[in-house]
Amino acid sequence: MYSFDSFVRYSEVGEDKKLTLDGIINYFQDCSTFQSEELQVGVERLEALQRVWVLSSWQIVIDRYPALCEKIRISTWPYQFQGFLGWRNFTMTDGDGKLLAWANSLWTFLDTQTGRPARVPEEIENAYELEERLDMNYASRKLPMPKGGETGDPFAVQKHHLDTNHHVNNGQYIQMAREYVPEDFRIRQMRAEYKKSALLGDMIYPVTAFEDGRYTIGLCDELGKPYAVVELS
């Protein structure tokens, strides 16, 4: 397990002075990056191998959003590798060790030259110590497109949406999806399935549906094929 401590920063809170969902996602994403860098299988090593980890799906559950300046600990560990796939859990706890948020994630190992999945090499797999899977209610990683949803105005991918892989960062899709949810809707679980990469200048066509207390937002191309599907409940 890899962990680091932090305090909720002013730049990470919303109008309610609580850490935002985007902030939780960023902490989790940073934690996995820090672990890989410490184990010397981070960004530069993967670039040398012409490989990259791409997030395929998220499930994040939030029990409580920590407040401004509250001390938090973020932890992560992988629990399984299989072929070109890797599974990883995350937790966020408060100063007393009580769980604030927890997550499951599935990652795909890609060849950056071909864009196709590649088997995880022993060098990468052996760098990590696998641990027990977190005890949580695991949802399906598959998310269907919303049916009968409302189509919003399309918008273009901007430079600030991109990450080091030159495509839209996984957290940016969640920020996009949140624009179609009422401000007073309290998100207790976020699920996302990433289906293909959006690049600079691509147009995104949002489709939103509300059913059984949850919003499902499809972020699609001009043909209606999703880049990502996000569920907020």
Q: pLDDT-derived band of residue 225, with 50, 70 and 90 as boundaries?
A: very high
Percentage of the chain modeled with pLDDT above 90? 90
Domain contains 97? yes
Is this model's pTM higher than 0.85 or not? Answer: yes
Mark whether 187 and 120 lie in a shared domain.
Answer: no
| Mean pLDDT value of segment 179-206 | 94
Q: Give the domain CATH number at 166.
A: 3.10.129.10
Q: Does residue 221 surpass a pLDDT of 80?
A: yes
In a domain, 134, yes or no: no
Residue for token pair 């990433």? 194
Whether residue 17 is found in the same domain as residue 122? yes
pLDDT of residue 170: 87
What is the residue range of 118's domain? 2-127
Whole-number pLDDT of residue 146: 85
CA 49 → CA 27, 116, 123, distances in Å? 26, 14, 11
**34 and 71, same domain (yes or no):** yes
Summarize pLDDT for 123-141 with one digit per residue, the tens.
999 999 999 999 999 999 9
Least trusted range by pLDDT, from 56-60, 76-80, 145-149: 145-149
Say if residue 83 is in the same domain as residue 121: yes
Which band of pLDDT confidence, cut at 50, 70 and 90, is reported for residue 19? very high
pLDDT at 165 over 80: no
**Could you tell me if residue 138 is inside a domain?**
no
Same domain, 106 and 186: no
Specify whether 9 is located in the same domain as 118.
yes
Residue 28 and residue 84 share a domain:
yes
Q: What is the pLDDT of residue 13?
A: 96
Mean pLDDT taken over the chain: 95
Q: What is the 3-state secondary structure (H, E, C) of the chain?
A: CEEEEEECCHHHECCCCEECHHHHHHHHHHHHHHHHHHCCCCHHHHHHHCEEEEEEEEEEEECCCCECCCEEEEEEEEEEEECCEEEEEEEEEECCCCEEEEEEEEEEEEECCCCCECCCCHHHHHHCCCCCCCCCCCCCCCCCCCCCCEECCCEECCHHHECCCCCECHHHHHHHHHCCCCCCCCCCEEEEEECCCCCCCCEEEEEEEEECCEEEEEEECCCCCEEEEEEEC
> Side chain identity at 76, as an amino acid letter?
T
- Out of 95, 127, 159, a domain closes at 127
Residue 132 falls within a domain, yes or no?
Answer: no
Say if residue 105 is in the same domain as residue 158.
no
What pLDDT is attached to residue 148? 84
> Is 137 part of a structural domain of the chain?
no
Residue 141 lies in a domain: no
What type of residue sits at position 3? S
On the question of pLDDT at 220 being above 80, the answer is yes
Query: Can you tell me the mean pLDDT for 55-74?
Result: 97
Q: Which of 65, 93, 127 is the last residue of a domain?
A: 127
What total number of domains does the chain contain? 2
Q: 116 and 212, same structural domain?
A: no
User: Would you say residue 92 lies in a domain?
Assistant: yes
For residues 123 and 16, membership in a common domain is answered with: yes
Q: Is residue 136 part of a domain?
A: no
User: Which tens digit of pLDDT belongs to each residue from 95-106?
Assistant: 999 999 999 999
The token duo for 105 is: 């994630």
Task: Quote the pLDDT of residue 177.
Answer: 94
Percent pLDDT > 70 in the chain is: 100
